[in-house]
Homo-oligomer: A and B are copies of this chain.
Amino acid sequence: MTSPAAFAGLAALMGDPARAAMLQALLSGEALTAGELARAAGIGAPAASAHLARLVEGGLVLVHPQGRHRYHRLAGEEVAAAIEMLGGLATAVTPARRWPHGEEFRQARLCYDHLAGRLGVALYGALTGRDWIAPAAGGWQATEVGESGLAALGVDLAAARRARRFACDCMDWSERRAHLAGGLGREIAACCLRRHWLRRLPPLREGDPLARRRLALTPEGARQLDAALGVRLVA
């Protein structure tokens, strides 16, 4: 809460329909080019360029040029968490039909680069309940039993440790409980996708802005997570 001006500026930055669509598209954690984002927002290239410049200048988006492309991604997990939470509030507050994406979006999804939905909070509960992670300054650290357990699952702990934050909370708007973010959250998600314990769901319709984020547990994934952590969710 610096000044209300900073708050207002940030909210206004997210409050434009075109920029909002871009941010939603980036919430999958992937880096997208300016052209892809222009298409996602349904505007022309010049307008998209201006919007992206403002998002970058506002600190919400990072850009790294590669050849003639300019790839954009969200500036960090706190940005993603705020967007995710605001989206949740929008569904809670909007009296219109609430779940155009179906109950499954609530079951498992990507929140930036980590897992959210019932699966996300179930994993979080399992990790804390089995003392695989323990509170530390500004987040969580892995315990000894946690390290071996996570390594046995195939989670790349070294990669997780290279992140700015090893593990921290992120609010899950659909479950109203915390789930795991930070390097560990990212690596767990990556591990589940790599091992085909999770699969990406097809888009519901053409140009679905949430398409890249929709996930489902596979039967194998349900079995493995139940065996390792006691997480019981239908595949």
Q: B24, A5: Cβ atoms under 8 Å?
A: no
A75 at the interface (CB under 8 A from B): yes
Which positions 106-145 of chain A face chain B at CB distance < 8 Å?
Answer: 125, 135, 138-139
Q: A88, B78: Cβ atoms under 8 Å?
A: yes
CA distance A79 to B91 in the complex (A): 12
Which of A30-38, A92-100, A187-195, A218-226 lies at the interface? A92-100
Which positions 37-87 of chain A face chain B at CB distance < 8 Å?
Answer: 58-60, 75, 78-79, 81-87
Select one of B10, B85, B165 contacting A81, CB under 8 A.
B85
CA distance A24 to B17 in the complex (A): 24
A214 to chain B, nearest CB (A): 11
Q: B6, A90: Cβ atoms under 8 Å?
A: yes
Q: B14, A15: Cβ atoms under 8 Å?
A: yes
Q: A14, B11: Cβ atoms under 8 Å?
A: yes
A16 at the interface (CB under 8 A from B): yes
CA distance A175 to B139 in the complex (A): 8
Select one of B12, B170, B175 contacting A12, CB under 8 A.
B12
By size class, the interface of chain A is 35 or more
Known: A1-B210, A81-B171, A93-B75. A87 touches B139 (CB 8 A): no
Write out the residue numbers on chain B whose beta carbons fall within 8 Å of the beta carbon of A9: 15, 90
Q: A8, B14: Cβ atoms under 8 Å?
A: yes
Write out the residue numbers on chain B whose beta carbons fall within 8 Å of the beta carbon of A78: 88-89, 92, 173, 176
Q: List 30 A-B contacts (CB under 8 A).
A: A1-B24, A1-B84, A1-B91, A2-B98, A4-B21, A5-B17, A6-B91, A7-B90, A8-B17, A10-B86, A10-B89, A11-B14, A11-B20, A12-B12, A13-B15, A14-B15, A15-B15, A59-B95, A60-B93, A75-B93, A78-B88, A78-B173, A78-B176, A81-B171, A82-B88, A85-B85, A85-B171, A139-B176, A170-B171, A171-B171
The 7 closest A-B pairs by CB, nearest first: A12-B15, A8-B20, A11-B15, A59-B93, A15-B15, A1-B87, A11-B14
Known contacts A14-B15, A15-B15; 7 additional CB pairs below 8 A are A1-B84, A4-B209, A10-B89, A60-B93, A78-B88, A81-B85, A168-B176
